[in-house]
Structure 1
């Protein structure tokens, strides 16, 4: 008997039609009715002996899936992705950030990205790709990143692309805040194509954003609302809240398969250029005029302006192949960034004698001419190169299964050259090279599928470690230990412990020092708001950090909704010698870093050095838990292929399908409406079975890609023995799909036995013995989950076989959806989103509960409890926060909502009479997107064909126009914490239009 495990393949034997599916939709199943004894080759090339009059169902994994013991956080099929109405993969990832975000508190917010189960050199390779090109997408836990050479501080997002897809896209977007003040325009276009092992993507995007000033948000300049400087009637007009920005992005990527059908690997080349210009204002310049010993401050008419121009050149290279049974992958990503910052210099006119020697110029007269002070220029040139090579395979087999080993090595190089006219240092260069190596070993300890201690479930032990040698910091070490336990297919537990050294970045060490004037800062000591001079840049005295993290988690696949789950995660982080940006200037921070703060003789705050600092120790612990639920709206008969979630015994609805020859499954059907395409199979059969000359190989070009892959041997070439077995199966007149087919009478008797009403138990004695065996669990008893899945499959067809079932070999009636491609193997290309008459809804909610957040600035200094108000950040630390996203989509209309709520927080003052505690109110930011697929509107398209493949969307960021309110002990809002400072834009509404050609 063949393998029968609920995770990659099912083999059922019966005399009747039984589409029992676990985790994969019918297009990825192969059905064969055997009329004579035969041998079927399963997914692992194991022979399955099949007796006559039996039906074999084989459900292989989708090519490109990641085979790991960890259950996915969330999965998305084609229709789930279409329900988001996203214009690009970058927009799609932003929309699902609650699912892809990590609660570990390390690393960047973006997940590790895989394409077809393989690493990529850079996110640039796919961020402008249309989401319609994705066949399936899985979000996996952080621990999976270890298998691909990355640290376990980010979740993993695996995208499986279609085998055939082509599009030309043009889009435009306009956004404006309802409070006015600025405009944002975006225009982009691109071309993308997948043709089997080859794909390419070229795109361009232009973004223009105007400046938002303090005057446009009615920022108060003083407690009385009056100007603070003589001669400056509207100082807010000359200070910007949001910079003016202009950005041009050009990007191109090409991927080419190596060998026949790309079976020998692939190579990817990427290049990009970005040009960005920003402009900001930091207020008016001031001078002090002196006459006969009297002084008066006057303003000069020109605002102090900072202009930045950033040019970035980027390139990437990736190569993936098989070396025997091992997967070899290497990537290289490089960038060169040239940043030029020009800042108007303040005039050094303190004590300027405005009067002539005879005292003829009065102090209250017109301002004298003051020579321009010129411009300070800061330039930073950064070169970065990152390479990573991994070798992954199964070095040995244990009683519970194959061990998985990943070896990785890399070389990174960074060089930063900085110069600034405001310093006397001149040009200086910092550079760092990083040579790294690591190992990760996953050991299966118990296994239900292998029947080794399966009664306790599946246990997998994960061990790993690595070193980094930094040329400027010495050697950094890391190691990790993890355990995964799957007691059932629906329940998973994980525990991991990670220890890692970390070094400050070169920018934290060596960025040019920049002085910014007239920055509004709240002074906790005096309970006042001051305009101060702020210094930013690098700090060469920073040291390496030691991190120690624990994670415990549980994932439960909910039994009452398809592809829904509950996730609970606990994190505890301990770090010493932590590099951080300079914290909020509370009295405690000023006492810890007295050299960073400058006050005048009267105690007024006049300057702050905000370069990065080192904390002695940081300790945090939190719990993040949430759920993902989803479902369908109405009929979904045309839904795309691919299961949604880790294969389990829960079965999705029956889809129309026709018995297909073994090996021709694994993707959406070659006809638009569903079912086996006899003409395509016949073309493949002719090319495969045609006589070939001596020494010549048969033509495999008509064979589906996944079928060709199964013919490849350990050397990466077509195995003659496998090819011969395939030819015997396909070319034989006694093939399993010979005339015969579905037996309605046997199917009716089966339904009568298992489809009982009123809660009565089904009569399992009437089931064929092989089928009854398949329903039994490890204990020899009938597994209720398997029985429920079978009943759902059999009893949902209203007394009839699945629609389209017919004697094998009979051609089904073709029914192609409008706008659907007839190319097979990789899914369909639709001009619209989602199936006619079908729909999707989903809701994901995650709650973070912080238990501990303590900081010790230096040895001997009392710990700061951020949750109790000893904050080091400008908004305090809320104990609770909630992220959510959800929406629905049906008949071309979609609505998406995404929100984030943070509980109130507080920041303690010094306790002195002049100081005050601050309360930071709760925030709730809700974004909305309403979109319509115009290409689905048949009447509209008939009248105006231009709208075919078009979509229009209305957006609202911060729909509720929520802005955080900050108050002191008297209920007053300090000048530095006005709502417009906390959230300058407010509600921003927009409209975007996209056209797919």
Structure 2
């Protein structure tokens, strides 16, 4: 794409194809049918000193049928797959202590929930799950929640039997440091196996103003997946080394095909810390629950929210005999820090929203080139979006309740207000092929104006 102020010209030459030339087309058809039924019963069955004992029962079933048909010789169809699953679970919520009442009152509100379930796939083994949760509120303005769960899972129908398609894509080849156009194979992988997931969550909320005006949140989550399947990772030199049979090159070393179907894994470890706050107020005053009902519809409402995701660990082990891929340390291009913010101001008939996001810089290693000269450095990126809307009849009343302005809404959406884009450089400061500003983000800032009228 030419830069502003530059011109480009392209010359095409057309020739007739020989009569014997055969032009073939690929066509893949897929059909999915599903049925899902669920019944839930939630009931208090007994009264304990700290409150009612609640039992939750759920049962259900689902049936999914997927079939695909390829109309060419190179793209063989997968056999149709039918899956019928029956699941059931039972949970108990037990109140342990109550604030200012009974034994253990000094602990505040404390309750435990235990949920056990299973899912059976006809013709296969049963998948079990167990979830243990603890909720604690030592004071009215403080809440702490912890959850530990173990679940067995199996690849879904799409991962196993989605139709296989081949398309040509343009992507950056980090080994040769050039833009390539290989064939991209997507679809199902019938060789995937079962796995299990362990999840631990600990989070807390504090409302220092005593109401809903200001809420401060802090949370930690760790997930370990053993076996099972995941999507094909972002192509990096380390990923290519882990999947030599998935990334194909010709005699000159050029990328010609990538098998990007889901892959079986040995283990996937993730951990993150989350912190943020939400602030709500009306005309500069913090909003308490008792006051919220008294606020007139014409008053302005404001809110500000900020949340920070700090990725502590993200490692993918494909096989036990291969080193783990450190997606935060240069093998996967995953940023360690993500920050999102939102500011909203509005009243009936008018509103404005600002959404911002920021991510830290990333470096992707290329061990094929010595001294880090082939590493790609992704700079930190911040972007801001703006949304506005106006409803004249609602905002200004009867004067605009007739004629062209009646039942109308004007919206303005500005994406990437400051025209920011991802900057990528090599060790010497040059921009690698395929990472030019206009190749990464040819649109840049976009403005959309919408006028809608209900008749």
Q: 1:410 to 1:561 in 2, by over 3 A?
A: closer
| Alignment counterpart, residue 421 of structure 2, candidates 930, 941, 963 | 963
Deviates more, 1:963-972 or 1:459-468: 963-972
Structure 2 partner of 1:855: 316
Looking at structure 1, the residues matched to 130 and 212 of structure 2 have their Cα atoms a distance apart, in angstroms, of 37
Deviation, 1:381, is 0.4
Deviation, 1:373, is 0.5
Structure 2 partner of 1:556: 206
Q: 1:948 to 1:474 in 2, by over 3 A?
A: same
| Alignment counterpart, residue 48 of structure 2, candidates 398, 421, 424 | 398
Q: 1:509 to 1:987 in 2, by over 3 A?
A: same
1:444 corresponds to 2:95: yes
- Does structure 2 conserve the Cα–Cα contact (< 8 Å) formed by 1:401 and 1:450? no
Structure 2 partner of 1:197: none
SS of equivalent to 1:595: coil
1:381 corresponds to 2:20: no
Looking at structure 1, the residues matched to 36 and 439 of structure 2 have their Cα atoms a distance apart, in angstroms, of 37
1:898 corresponds to 2:355: yes
- Does structure 1 conserve the Cα–Cα contact (< 8 Å) formed by 2:29 and 2:69? yes
| Alignment counterpart, residue 171 of structure 2, candidates 498, 511, 521 | 521
Deviation, 1:610, is 1.2
| Alignment counterpart, residue 885 of structure 1, candidates 342, 345, 357 | 342
| Alignment counterpart, residue 18 of structure 2, candidates 360, 364, 369 | 369
Structure 1 partner of 2:245: 595
Kindly report which structure 2 residues correspond to 1:146-295, keeping only aligned pairs within 5 A, or say none: 233=11
Structure 2 partner of 1:17: none
Deviation, 1:961, is 2.0
**Gapped regions of structure 2 (runs ≥ 5):** none
Deviation, 1:542, is 0.6
SS of equivalent to 2:434: helix
Q: Which has the higher strand share?
A: 2
Looking at structure 2, the residues matched to 934 and 465 of structure 1 have their Cα atoms a distance apart, in angstroms, of 54
- Does structure 2 conserve the Cα–Cα contact (< 8 Å) formed by 1:526 and 1:915? no
Looking at structure 2, the residues matched to 632 and 908 of structure 1 have their Cα atoms a distance apart, in angstroms, of 50
Superimposed CA distance per residue, residues 476-526 of structure 1 (whole angstroms, 9 cap, x where no aligned partner): 111011111111111111111011122222111111211113x22322222
Structure 2 partner of 1:835: 297
Looking at structure 2, the residues matched to 572 and 621 of structure 1 have their Cα atoms a distance apart, in angstroms, of 4
Structure 2 partner of 1:483: 134
Kindly report which structure 2 residues correspond to 1:111-122, keeping only aligned pairs within 5 A, or say none: none
Superimposed CA distance per residue, residues 685-718 of structure 1 (whole angstroms, 9 cap, x where no aligned partner): xxxxxxxxxxxxxxxxxxxxxxxxxxxxxxxxxx
Looking at structure 2, the residues matched to 924 and 635 of structure 1 have their Cα atoms a distance apart, in angstroms, of 30
Kindly report which structure 2 residues correspond to 1:47-126, keeping only aligned pairs within 5 A, or say none: none
Kindly report which structure 2 residues correspond to 1:383-782, keeping only aligned pairs within 5 A, or say none: 383-422=33-72, 423=74, 425-426=76-77, 428-448=79-99, 450-471=101-122, 473-517=124-168, 519-559=169-209, 562-633=212-283, 651-652=290-291, 655=294
Deviation, 1:952, is 1.5
Deviation, 1:928, is 0.7
- Between 1 and 2, higher relative CO (CA 8 Å, sep ≥ 6) is seen in 1
1:927 corresponds to 2:351: no
- Does structure 2 conserve the Cα–Cα contact (< 8 Å) formed by 1:520 and 1:531? yes
**Gapped regions of structure 1 (runs ≥ 5):** 1-214, 220-224, 235-298, 302-365, 637-642, 646-650, 657-833
Superimposed CA distance per residue, residues 717-757 of structure 1 (whole angstroms, 9 cap, x where no aligned partner): xxxxxxxxxxxxxxxxxxxxxxxxxxxxxxxxxxxxxxxxx
Deviation, 1:443, is 0.4
Deviation, 1:383, is 0.7
Looking at structure 2, the residues matched to 403 and 946 of structure 1 have their Cα atoms a distance apart, in angstroms, of 58
Looking at structure 2, the residues matched to 892 and 590 of structure 1 have their Cα atoms a distance apart, in angstroms, of 54
1:988 corresponds to 2:450: no
Deviation, 1:604, is 2.3
Deviation, 1:976, is 3.4
Q: 1:499 to 1:896 in 2, by over 3 A?
A: same
Superimposed CA distance per residue, residues 167-205 of structure 1 (whole angstroms, 9 cap, x where no aligned partner): xxxxxxxxxxxxxxxxxxxxxxxxxxxxxxxxxxxxxxx
- Does structure 1 conserve the Cα–Cα contact (< 8 Å) formed by 2:434 and 2:440? no
| Alignment counterpart, residue 325 of structure 2, candidates 864, 872, 875 | 864
Deviation, 1:981, is 4.9
- Does structure 1 conserve the Cα–Cα contact (< 8 Å) formed by 2:373 and 2:426? no
Q: 1:417 to 1:931 in 2, by over 3 A?
A: same
- Does structure 1 conserve the Cα–Cα contact (< 8 Å) formed by 2:376 and 2:424? yes
Give the TM-score, by structure 1 length. Answer: 0.43
- Does structure 1 conserve the Cα–Cα contact (< 8 Å) formed by 2:215 and 2:277? yes
Deviation, 1:419, is 0.9
- Does structure 2 conserve the Cα–Cα contact (< 8 Å) formed by 1:940 and 1:947? no
* Number of aligned residue pairs: 449
Q: 1:611 to 1:979 in 2, by over 3 A?
A: farther
- Does structure 2 conserve the Cα–Cα contact (< 8 Å) formed by 1:561 and 1:629? no
- Does structure 2 conserve the Cα–Cα contact (< 8 Å) formed by 1:867 and 1:878? yes
Looking at structure 2, the residues matched to 419 and 905 of structure 1 have their Cα atoms a distance apart, in angstroms, of 41
- Does structure 1 conserve the Cα–Cα contact (< 8 Å) formed by 2:77 and 2:163? no
| Alignment counterpart, residue 977 of structure 1, candidates 404, 416, 435 | 435
Deviation, 1:584, is 2.5
- Does structure 2 conserve the Cα–Cα contact (< 8 Å) formed by 1:527 and 1:915? no
- Does structure 2 conserve the Cα–Cα contact (< 8 Å) formed by 1:525 and 1:915? no
- Does structure 2 conserve the Cα–Cα contact (< 8 Å) formed by 1:881 and 1:902? yes
Q: 1:395 to 1:410 in 2, by over 3 A?
A: same
Looking at structure 2, the residues matched to 605 and 436 of structure 1 have their Cα atoms a distance apart, in angstroms, of 45
The structure whose Rg is larger is 1
Looking at structure 2, the residues matched to 455 and 909 of structure 1 have their Cα atoms a distance apart, in angstroms, of 58
Deviation, 1:995, is 4.2
Deviation, 1:988, is 2.0
Q: 1:909 to 1:891 in 2, by over 3 A?
A: same
- Does structure 1 conserve the Cα–Cα contact (< 8 Å) formed by 2:373 and 2:427? no
Q: Which has the higher helix share?
A: 1
Kindly report which structure 2 residues correspond to 1:11-50, keeping only aligned pairs within 5 A, or say none: none
**Cα RMSD for the two superposed structures:** 2.9
Looking at structure 2, the residues matched to 376 and 906 of structure 1 have their Cα atoms a distance apart, in angstroms, of 38
Looking at structure 2, the residues matched to 560 and 394 of structure 1 have their Cα atoms a distance apart, in angstroms, of 30
Q: 1:599 to 1:654 in 2, by over 3 A?
A: closer
Give the TM-score, by structure 2 length. Answer: 0.90
1:937 corresponds to 2:396: yes
Looking at structure 1, the residues matched to 307 and 179 of structure 2 have their Cα atoms a distance apart, in angstroms, of 37
Looking at structure 1, the residues matched to 327 and 268 of structure 2 have their Cα atoms a distance apart, in angstroms, of 11
Q: 1:406 to 1:560 in 2, by over 3 A?
A: closer
SS of equivalent to 1:861: coil
Looking at structure 1, the residues matched to 187 and 307 of structure 2 have their Cα atoms a distance apart, in angstroms, of 36
SS of equivalent to 1:909: coil
Superimposed CA distance per residue, residues 199-241 of structure 1 (whole angstroms, 9 cap, x where no aligned partner): xxxxxxxxxxxxxxxx5x879xxxxx999xxxx748xxxxxxx
Looking at structure 1, the residues matched to 310 and 267 of structure 2 have their Cα atoms a distance apart, in angstroms, of 21
Structure 2 partner of 1:46: none
- Does structure 2 conserve the Cα–Cα contact (< 8 Å) formed by 1:529 and 1:974? no
Looking at structure 2, the residues matched to 505 and 977 of structure 1 have their Cα atoms a distance apart, in angstroms, of 35
